[in-house]
């Protein structure tokens, strides 16, 4: 299970890049620990999150989500959250390269906190469905 430590500056408007690999048919979970520019835990109390992956980046509506991650704040005050996909969801992914992003929001303010590439690799063998 990958873990990422990231420094997030909401004033910059720039997400932190982070790449992952998903093996089809397996559970996927990535943990993030976020600090602000003064190295204190970023406080996500009152925030919600969403994350999706698609085959390409688009402006407008030309791309669509291939998968939607579960986003959970494991310690909102401690700046910790995770994204995950279960084995049923990863089993249906086609081999290839995808892009993803994680959005966090508080009220009407939405931040693209992290994004990057996901390489999906086919499983050599997997447990029966």
Collapse the DSSP code of 91 into the 3-class scheme (helix H, G, I; strand E, B; otherwise coil) and give the result.
helix
Listed in order, strand segments (DSSP E) in 9-128 are 16-17, 20-23, 28-35, 48-54, 65-75, 80-85, 96-106, 109-121
pLDDT for the residue 65 = 83
Residue range 17-58, pLDDT digits in tens? 999 999 999 999 999 999 999 999 999 999 999 999 998 766
Give the mean model confidence (pLDDT) for residues 101-128: 88
Residue-level pLDDT at 13: 87
Model confidence pLDDT, tens digit, residues 49-85: 999 999 876 655 555 888 999 999 999 999 999 999 9
Q: Where are the domains of the chain?
A: 3-121
Task: Indicate if the alpha-carbon torsion angle 61, 113, 103, 22 is positive or negative.
Answer: positive
Mean pLDDT computed over 10-19: 92
Q: What is this structure's pTM?
A: 0.87
Integer Cα distance of 24 and 45 in angstroms: 33
Per-residue CA distances from 68 to 13, 39, 116 (Å): 23, 30, 15
Decide if domain 3-121 falls under CATH 2.60.40.3350. yes
């Amino acid at each position: 299970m990958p873990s990422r430590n990231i420094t997030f500056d909401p004033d910059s408007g720039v997400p932190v890049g982070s790449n992952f690999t998903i093996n089809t048919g397996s559970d996927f979970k990535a943990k993030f620990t976020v600090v602000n520019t003064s190295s204190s835990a970023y406080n996500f109390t009152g925030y919600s999150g969403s994350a999706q992956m698609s085959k390409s980046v688009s402006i407008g509506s030309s791309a669509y989500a291939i998968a939607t991650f579960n986003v959970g704040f494991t310690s909102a005050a401690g700046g910790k959250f995770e994204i995950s996909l279960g084995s049923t969801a990863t089993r249906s992914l086609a081999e290839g390269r995808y892009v993803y992003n994680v959005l966090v929001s508080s009220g009407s303010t939405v931040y693209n906190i992290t994004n990057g590439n996901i390489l999906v690799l086919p499983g050599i063998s997997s447990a029966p469905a």
